Amino acid sequence: MNSRQTVERVEGRMTQAERTALSDRLMFEAAIELINEHGTQKTTLKEISERAGYSRGLASYRFGSKDGLILELFERFDDRWKDHLHGYIGNAHGLEAVRQAASALRDFLKKESGYLRAMYLLWYESLGGDSNMRRLLAEHHDVYRHDARSWIEQGIEIGEIKPDVDPALFAAQYCAFSFGIVYQWLVDAQALELDAVFGNYIDNTIKLLAKNN
């Protein structure tokens, strides 16, 4: 049974909304696979549709263009990351939020390495000029820095983080570590022992921030 026959068999028991959600998910998964295999420039909507098990024109019909699919792919990735991060942080603040955020990134990297590799390819290619992806990425970076600033501000307010810590500077450094360590891992996963790297980062960061140290 080929991929199209498999899809048709599964879809036969679904509502229209469920079929649409399934086809979207399968096409996004196919896009991730193809981007990792060939890069974004050589990945086409036709290939995405066929890899997902659909007619060659479905991705074009659904998303309009490759840029449209890529932007939707990024939004879905960001939603997945935010849900994952919230599962670790919850209502934590201050030092505990910093600790849990690092742990969340470590585990997300292990769990979603294929997704992250595809997104990094998209992100770095977007830096070559003015693009919707670059503008969207800048907006999301603002959100990431805002979240990190809030952890520090909350920690200072409750008296567990040193009052002379600059929340904005910490946020920039936190994002630099986060994106940089993911990049290193994707380039050569064997060169890094993630548990040791993150454990050391967490311990050193808490020591630098904690008011009682």
pLDDT at 3: 58
Residues 6+ apart with CB under 8 A from 29: 52
Helix (H, G, I), strand (E, B), or coil: what is residue 142? helix
Q: Is 192 exposed, middle or buried (0-12, 13-18, 19+ CB in 10 A)?
A: middle
pLDDT at 125: 76
Using alpha carbons, select from 155, 156, 194 the residue that is nearest to residue 177: 194
pLDDT at 155: 96
**Tokens read off for 90:** 């919850």
Using alpha carbons, select from 209, 74, 43, 52 the residue that is nearest to residue 139: 74
pLDDT at 129: 66
Using alpha carbons, select from 136, 137, 85, 145 the residue that is nearest to residue 109: 85
Mean pLDDT in order along the chain per 10 residues (213 residues): 57 74 87 87 88 87 85 87 94 95 95 88 75 84 95 96 97 95 90 95 96 77
Say if residues 145 and 172 touch (Cβ distance below 8 Å).
yes
d(CA 130, CA 128): 7
Say if residues 105 and 132 touch (Cβ distance below 8 Å).
no
d(CA 122, CA 185): 17
d(CA 6, CA 51): 12
**Tokens read off for 143:** 């959100």
CA–centroid distance for 186 within its chain: 13
- Answer positive or negative: Cα dihedral of 44, 122, 33, 62: negative
